[in-house]
Amino acid sequence: MMSRKYVSLVVLMFLCFHASITEGQQAIYEDPNQPIERRIKDLLGKMNLEEKVGQMTQIERTNATADAMKSYFIGSVLSGGGSAPKVNATPKEWMDMVNGLQQAALSTRLGIPMIYGIDAVHGHNNVANATIFPHNVGLGVTRDPQLVMQIGGVTALEVRATGIHYAFAPCLAVCRDPRWGRCYESYSEDHTIVQQLTTLIDGLQGIPPGDMKGMPYVHGKTKVAGCSKHYVGDGGTVNGINENNTIVDDSTLYGIHMPAYVNSIAKSIATVMASYSSVNGVKMHANKQLLTDHLKGKLGFQGFVISDWQGIDRITSPPHSNYTYSIQASVTAGVDMIMVPYEYKEFINGLIDLVKKNVIPMSRIDDAVTRILRVKFATGLFEYPLGDYSLVNEVGSQTHRELARRAVRKSLVLLKNGKPGNPTLLPLPKITGKILVTGTHANNLGYQCGGWTIEWQGVSGNNWTAGTTILEAVKKTVDKKTKVVYKMNPSKDYPEKTNLDFAIVVVGEVPYAETRGDSTNLTIPDPGPHIIENICKNTKCVVVLISGRPVVIEPYLDKIDALVAAWLPGSEGQGVADVLFGDFGFTGKLARTWFKRVDQLPMNVGDPSYDPLFPFGFGLETQPTSQTTDTVKLEL
């Protein structure tokens, strides 16, 4: 019989031998041939509490130093609205920045890649010279799921061309009151249109192979993780006030505001963002019933829930007044990744302390990190963590701009064409004597693009990004013999002194985003109304409205020969001229009710006292005057 000492020696020799042959072998989580769930389990088992909490933390790029990434094991970085490496940064400079941060993340003990997020809500809108598509309020008019899917594909490619892996889109709000400053981020007041256009997810992430049962799916190095937002009911707040309370019964909540989320989960959306707003008085960032029980439980969502910008701070009033409670309430409710752009050290230390005190169970932390790792593995970050420099020339390519131009054509709504007893004005002739192009928005690319473009609240002027203004588009479209005169705000007697054939008046809202766009009067800012009055009373005119929602127009309607709702068309103003001058016909139909007076609001199709200026679904049509094909060939 062998002695106990001898047996122990044999065992020790075996362990040393086994260690020597396995040393340097690839860990299970590093093996792309292993199932994702096995890789997650392996990696999670190797992580300590500090590494897990780091994965749950998303910080703003201005705080994302290499030391911060490594010391705090940061799981995600974002660019807030307008946050760029520098003014007019090139795609390569964006990629250099993201890759540098990624290399810092990879240098940590376990080498877990970070995921970089950005608000690419109508194209890659933070990046100079990217393709800027119409905002969702215009895309809803198209009712074209295939077009929206193509837009998602182009957006994903341009985002990846800057090294970024994650887009905070689509917005699935069902805006029920245009006084809300984010209404232009909503496809429609009708949830069925919002549901149809969740195809943006197919473009962003790729079409999943069969029923993935809520599992995140991101196909290949030219796709990005998407984010359905803002869960849930953000478009139904009282009086359209941003971040306010949505007072609803179950039939409204689950019948109007929830359905598009069901569609997005069926499309394997990677992440869902909680809303700043409340539902029946309960802040969404602390709403366990809706975040955990319904979204993750009943709907089977397997990706991660992310907070909005400093969203957990707003759980208390005033914000950040009891941060320990905010951390506890949000994480316990089901928020997995916390967007703490600046106070990340306070958040990390606070969460670690709550776990060590057994206030938040380790099982909740493990669930959150499992979901975050699931998205990272699905996105391919462990295999391809660094951006591909061969893609940088895709940003703002001509093919992408042609798609945006087509989207503009399809999003225009013709609300009026002709006065009683007068012939229709549209389509306009290309060969004529003299045309006046006028208005605050005729030659302003920033106004044309609206909010969430280059800066959070948008910009004014033509020097911020590439594109074509409506004035430039008109000049390119008309015959060389036609004289185009531009005056932004002509004198009151200008038309009387000038032999004009007709005028194109382009006016509307100035850019805004979120709370700063909330409005109680929804009027066109001065001098827009005065320009309409001065020009349209003395000459034939078509008024092109640039706005993020219906605005007060009834007082001027009798003076206008033709009225076009162009919404916020983005960088490709040529699409407006294409339809005004008849190369393509008007086809768009309102996806929002156009009210007469603000005191009618909220008013939506199906309401008992429905008395609109232009009803939901309204839109006059014209026939093109030339043989044209409205398609763009894309390989996405």
Q: Count CA atoms closer than 13 A to 460's CA, side-chain side.
A: 7
* Dihedral sign, Cα of residue 527, residue 529, residue 530, residue 534: positive
Contact 168, 180 (CB under 8 A): no
The three-state secondary structure class of 551 is coil
Residue 244 CB-half CA count within 13 A: 19
The DSSP call for residue 254 is I
All residues at 6 or more sequence positions from 357 whose CB lies less than 8 Å from its CB, including other chains: none
DSSP annotation string for 128-144: TT--BPPPHHHHHHHT-
The one catalytic residue among 514, 561, 578, 583: 514
Bridge partner residues of 491 (DSSP): none
Name the residue type at position 498.
T
Place of tokens 């897990």: 52
Identify which of 143, 145, 141, 125 has the alpha carbon closest to the alpha carbon of residue 133.
125
Quickly tell me which residue has 């062998």 as its tokens.
Answer: 2
Name the residue with tokens 């690319």.
445
In angstroms, the CA 317 to CA 155 distance is 37
C-beta atoms surrounding 382 within 10 Å: 20
- Identify the H or E element spanning 495: helix 494-497
- DSSP conformation letters of 38-54: HHHHHHHHH--HHHHHH
- Residue 47 tokens, joined: 């992580």
Distance of CA 431 to the CA centre of its chain: 40
- CB 344 within 8 Å of CB 75: no
Map tokens 């990706």 to a residue.
303
Rounded to whole angstroms, what are the CA distances from 567 to 113, 328, 448, 558, 570? 39, 42, 8, 21, 9
Give residue 145's identity as a one-letter amino acid code.
Answer: P
Give the span between the Cα atoms of 549 and 533, in whole angstroms: 22
Helix ranges restricted to H, 166-286 = 191-196, 199-205, 250-252, 259-266
Residues 547 and 566: their CA atoms lie apart, in Å, by 7
Preceding amide of 506 cis, omega within 30: no
**Is 308 among the catalytic positions?**
yes
Which of 119, 144, 243, 308 is an active site residue?
308
Q: Is 514 an annotated catalytic residue?
A: yes
Q: How many CB atoms lie within 10 A of CB 351?
A: 25
How far is Cα 430 from Cα 475, in angstroms, rounded to an integer? 10
What gap in Å lies between CA 185 and CA 169, rounded to an integer? 10
What residues does 337 pair with on adjacent strands?
A: 306
CA distance 101 to 85: 12
What three-state secondary structure class fits 140? helix
Residue listed under structure tokens 């009708």: 190
Tell me whether the omega of the peptide bond preceding residue 527 falls within 30 degrees of 0, making it cis. yes
Q: DSSP for 402-442?
A: HHHHHHHHHH-EEEEE--TTS---PSPPSS-SEEEEESTTT
**CA distance from start to end of the chain:** 71
Catalytic residue set: 308, 514
